[in-house]
Amino acid sequence: MSFKQIVFKFVIFIIMINPVVAIQESSLLSSSKPKIVVSVEPLYELVATLSHGIVKPQIIYQNINERSKDLSNWQKEQIANADIIIRAGRGFEPVLDNYLKQQGDELEHKTITLSQYIPLLDKENNNRRILSSNRQEKSDLRFWMDPRLLKMLAIYIAPRLVVMDPEHQEEYLDNEVILKDQLKKIENKMLRLFKQLSVEQKLLFAHFNPYLKNRYMTFSQIKELNRYARPQPEVITCIQSHSFDAIPFNLEYTEKALYSLLHTLEQCSRTKIIVN
């Protein structure tokens, strides 16, 4: 018997007769970091802030424009190994939705579909059936651009992270408090900047993000916009090509990003709109 074999057997013997060592060994195994998977980059910003200091989430779609492509083996592996999956919704991620359904209840039980919990506002349509359909199916809600909704989602997600990983309960809840405070400051900044928009810019903004139109505009303002003709296709393409898809949680960077959006609105609105 070699020296290495003797040492190995001795270690195993010590573990078997010493429950303290065995418990410590078990503790090391159980303290492994949780595997958090999110569907798209904007949700990464939200969840990574909640799990700061614990673990960095993995992203299924590194490129948000690949949501209609078949999942790669790497993406499927990320999903299979996840302790929790956080995604936007079936309308925004149709391929991912079909894949999760095919895998059965096990994946569904560890998946959070955020579109099911978004209180979608629509001041132009009070039909509950339509609102419910929009909440599930609309492909471009961009709800992560609304700091108030992000606060609601943080309140919803944080306890579920705690249930999944109770060992880091204090960290998750502390991060939630910090995140909500930061989002409140960002919301105040957005409200101030939104007041600077001209009618032309607000019309474009309404096409850029229908949810935020309802969120930041009064019913009378929305009615006023209906007096104007729909912008030309090239104008809509101009604003939709703007890269402001996610709202960063760094206040200084957010301010720059918001001013960038205002600049894009100004550039795209140079084509005059026509009153109906």
**pLDDT tens for each residue of 141-163:** 566 667 888 888 899 999 999 99
Residue 274 belongs to a domain: no
Q: Phi first, then psi: give them for residue 274, nearest 5 degrees.
A: -115, 135
110: containing domain: 33-187
Buried-state track 146-158, b at ≥16 Cβ within 10 A, e below 16: bbebbbbbbeebb
Angle, helices 41-50 vs 147-164, to 10°: value is: 60
**Cβ-based neighbour number of residue 49 at 10 Å:** 17
Are 150 and 259 within one domain? no
- How many C-beta neighbours within 10 Å does residue 30 have? 8
pTM for the complete prediction?
0.69
Regarding whether 94 and 18 lie in a shared domain, the answer is no
Q: Please, are residues 112 and 84 in contact by the beta-carbon 8 Å criterion?
A: yes
CA distance 158 to 70: 30
12 and 50 co-located in one domain = no
Does residue 159 sit in the same domain as residue 214? Answer: no
Q: Are residues 166 and 59 in the same domain?
A: yes
Of 154, 187, 220, the residue that ends a domain is 187
Q: Domains in the chain: how many in total?
A: 3
Whether residue 72 sits in one domain with residue 4: no
pLDDT in tens, 14-57: 334 443 333 333 333 345 789 999 998 878 888 999 999 999 99
For residue 73, give the CATH number of its domain: 3.40.50.1980
pLDDT top residue among 20 and 218: 218
